[in-house]
A = this chain, B = another copy of it.
């Protein structure tokens, strides 16, 4: 068993090297690559993916897993070794079910759909995008057919992003969110304008200020980078090599909140136990758990009153022209303004989940053939009216706004709202266990928060399934109530 385990670790280590290398190729592509490198970069990424996939699905990995099967039970369930074997077996079995031709076709269709979507969105014309979208959905149906252990087809798609999560669980949670959030938004929506508006935030000030903030969170240039990108993201090239990207706007501080969001992702990847390096355990447990961290640091920390009690004087000193006339309360209300809007990525905390629920429901109805792809724009606009009270004037501001379906990521959206739900559960737990947490925020101290998350979440990486991790970190199952309590606490008018 020692030998089989060592062989497995060696092979899996190499696959992990290839995966992390793909991450670097992707980071470079969006951050540093001159435009002339684009064509060859696509080939390089495809080759890396193919080599890593062939290595994972090899017969040799299967033989090693077989050898380890008999002795696996003697290992402690929580041990790194048992967790590695569980994860590799799960991934090997999933990957072996999908013919490589289908996988290649899915990748190719997504690459082809991307520029079609870009043009369709530019011209706000859903009909241009329809054939490519149909193709992506058809390929996902064929993908679902590769599996047989699901309750409903959407389970298979969801499992790629939120391992082990069932559609029925998500639906129950989302129904509850919708029941509460639709009236909450209607009650909390603000009239008139934000108190702070029409001002300018010079870029150099933004860069200096956000560094001060994220260094308090844990950012450290010896193991992190921060660059700009058109579509911000976080990448981990190693546990000790975390790369954040952000962007800046002249007339608001959305860039700062975006940076705090990506820092949340980065802290999670950076907090994985170093013992798990060079294994597939060295990542966050799921997209939902990841989003719980990014949204926690952006919103529950970065838009909280204690946070701004500490930082607002420094912000005023950085931007005297914009903020000398504003009070802390003006600023707090401005960055927590509730206003139903058309675009998901610009949505406030009160409305965000409703954007997600709309997409989740549409994905399921499309897969169930209860609606047709042609009807999407019309149904989209009607639901926006029902859930948020706003109606998109065109496809660009409606059904064409997100790139996810273009790249074939169907089943992905729900993880954003699951992230909010999980963040609510974690927040309630750690508020109970660190009673003076908000006092610490007022002192600019976030170490107790980070320490709790490190101990209860980050260090585990992917050792446990999301379901297990919710239980271990919060003591219960997936539960929307804590997040709803958080929202009602934040927007008392709606409570």
Residues of A at under 8 Å CB distance from B? 13-14, 17-18, 20-21, 24-25, 28, 32-37, 39-41, 43-44, 46-48, 50-51, 221-225, 237-242, 277-278
Contact = CB atoms under 8 A, between A and B. Distances in A.
Contact of A24 (B28, B35, B47, B225): B28
What number of copies of this chain does the assembly contain? 2
Given A28-B28, A224-B34, A51 B237 contact: no
Contacts of A51: 14, 18, 51
B41 A238 contact: yes
A32 B222 contact: no
Contacts of A37: 223, 237-238, 240-241
A223 B39 CA distance: 12
Given A34-B224, A36-B222, A39-B240, 9 more contacts: A14-B50, A21-B48, A32-B32, A34-B222, A35-B222, A35-B223, A36-B240, A40-B240, A40-B277
A20 B224 CA distance: 25
Nearest to A35: B222
A241 B40 contact: yes
Contact of A20 (B14, B40, B46, B222): B40
A41 B21 CA distance: 9
A36 B278 contact: no
Contact of A221 (B34, B44, B225, B240): B34
A224 B223 CA distance: 27
A40 B222 contact: no
A478 B43 CA distance: 38
Contacts of A48: 17-18, 21
B40 A21 contact: no
Contacts of A47: 13-14, 17-18, 21
Given A21-B44, A44-B17, A225 B32 contact: yes
B21 A21 contact: yes
A45 B324 CA distance: 52
A219 to B, nearest CB: 11
A278 to B, nearest CB: 6
Contact of A43 (B17, B24, B36, B240): B17
Nearest to A21: B44
Contacts of A241: 33-34, 36-37, 40-41
11 contacts: A13-B47, A21-B25, A24-B28, A32-B32, A34-B242, A37-B237, A37-B238, A37-B241, A40-B239, A40-B241, A51-B51
A20 B42 CA distance: 12
